[in-house]
Amino acid sequence: MRIVVKIGSSTLTRGGRGPNRPLLVQLAAQLARLREDGHQLVLVSSGAVACGRQTLPEAPAPTTLRTRQAMAAIGQPLLMAVWAEMLGIYGVTAAQVLLTATDLNSRSRWLLARNTFDALLALGVIPIVNENDTVAVDEIKFGDNDMLSARVAGLVGAARLVLLTDQDGLYDDDPRRNPEARLVPAIDGRLPAALAGAATSGGSGVGTGGMASKVQAAELARRSAAEVYIARGDRADVLLTLDDPAQPKTRFAPIGTPLEARKRYILAGRRADGRLTVDAGAVKALSGGSSLLPVGIRTVEGEFEAGDTVAVLDPEDHVIAYGLVAYPAVELKQIAGLRSAAIAEKLPQPRGDEAIHRDDLVLASASGN
């Protein structure tokens, strides 16, 4: 199972007083245990700005964009160093991945990011993700790391997203103001309007997200077929006991299946004029669930960029599939018909063996088109 875990600034930094090292050790141990059990983990970690503020306690509060960016630039390497140290205790290697919304809004950059995550996870590495605050501006910001984690869950095809916070989950009212507020253990269908209104956008003052942003992120991720949990980050073995019904948390059931979510993403994308005609061998391979390799492509028509949705046609000119192409038209025309070993002879920087990866391809017979 692929699992994305997000931890917020208030949980990670003890309310802004620097990294909560005892808690991070516990979380690192849980991540290592899940990895040993065969799961692939991605960690979305806030805290760069808070770490920067701790380093320069006499500096003015980061109330403007440029001061927040400056603090993030100072704090990000410190944050990564702490995570690398904690995971290293358990023999786990960490990798840093910094993203902006532009990276995931561009189809070609989306594919590159997805491929990088796939490579890291195949190596047993835990990617540590944060927004690239030093260059992000309002137009390219995710808004907060809750939404970033939901987008990353969709990017890597995660089956589970865990949002760790300073609350046990979603309540039917703000528990900080109403002691009678009750924890909502599960959302199986549509989120009731009353609960959406109960989620307050007020946070701890350390991070940028509150419960409202977590609910919004949960709604986005569950539509990518991930189950989502909101749980208290400092609870003992929180990541290892999510399936225990006795443990407090809120679970959002996934909507649809991973295949359906993937099909919607591919078919809803910008449909380029590109057409790839393939041979009979490729038709058979695609119907069996294989990727489309350049060797099976007979002709390439139209202009398209890497990440665009193109049509795949059989030798009789029938559309048999749609997919996100890994190569732009100008490059794919050079390598059409070539075996994988010969691609590097034509292109100095090949983008991989597949013209369209099987995860990025939907058969026309199953697409409803």
DSSP 165: E
Angle made by CA atoms 87, 88, 90, in degrees to the nearest 5? 75
Asked if residue 87 and residue 39 are part of one domain, the reply reads yes
- pLDDT at position 348: 85
Contact status, residue 270 vs residue 308, Cβ threshold 8 Å: yes
Q: How far apart, in whole angstroms, are the C-alpha atoms of residue 210 and residue 235?
A: 19
Domain total for the chain? Answer: 2
Q: Are residues 200 and 274 in the same domain?
A: no
Q: Parallel, antiparallel, or unpaired: how do β-strands 126-131 and 271-278 relate?
A: unpaired
The residue from 256, 282, 307 where one domain ends is: 256
The reply to whether 157 and 297 lie within a common domain is no
DSSP 302-364: S---TT-EEEEE-TTS-EEEEEE-SS-HHHHHHHTT--HHHHHHH-SS---S-SB-GGGEEEH
* Domain shared by 191 and 313, yes or no: no
Angle of helix 211-222 versus helix 145-156 axis, rounded to 10 = 10
Task: Determine the pLDDT at residue 349.
Answer: 83
User: 320: closest CA among 270, 264, 361?
Assistant: 361
Q: What is the rounded end-to-end Cα distance, in angstroms, of the chain?
A: 31
Q: Could you tell me the residue range of the domain that residue 307 belongs to? A: 262-367
Query: Could you tell me the two tokens for 105?
Result: 């809004």
Whether residue 166 sits in one domain with residue 122: yes
* Domain end marker among 256, 289, 312: 256
Same domain, 208 and 252: yes
The per-residue pLDDT for 88 is 97
Which portions of the chain are predicted below pLDDT 50? Answer: 139-140, 201-209, 367-369
Q: Are residues 192 and 329 in the same domain?
A: no
Which residues are within 8 A (CB) of 303 and not within 5 positions of it... i.e. 6 or more apart?
Answer: 272, 273, 274, 329
User: Which among 229, 256, 283 is the end of a domain?
Assistant: 256
CATH (domain of 40):
3.40.1160.10
Chain-centroid distance of CA 150 in Å reads 6
Q: What is the CATH number of the domain that holds 286?
A: 2.30.130.10
pLDDT per position as a tens digit, 24-61: 999 999 999 999 999 999 999 988 888 887 777 777 77
What pLDDT does 365 receive? 65
Question: Are 195 and 281 part of one and the same domain?
Answer: no
Q: Are residues 243 and 274 in the same domain?
A: no
Q: Name the β-bridge partners of 40.
A: 2
Count the neighbouring beta carbons within 10 Å of the beta carbon of residue 219: 17
pLDDT over 70, % of the chain: 86
Mark whether 202 and 315 lie in a shared domain.
no
CA neighbor of 134 nearest in space, from 210, 73, 47, 192: 73
Q: What is the pLDDT of residues 57-109, one digit of tens each?
A: 777 777 777 787 888 888 889 899 999 999 999 999 999 999 887 787 777 78
Tell whether 269 and 359 lie within a shared domain. Answer: yes
Does 212 share its domain with 289?
no
Collapsed DSSP state (helix, strand, coil) of residue 21? helix
Residue 187 CA to residue 206 CA, distance in Å, equals 28
CA distance 116 to 114: 5
Q: Are 336 and 294 in contact (CB under 8 A)?
A: yes
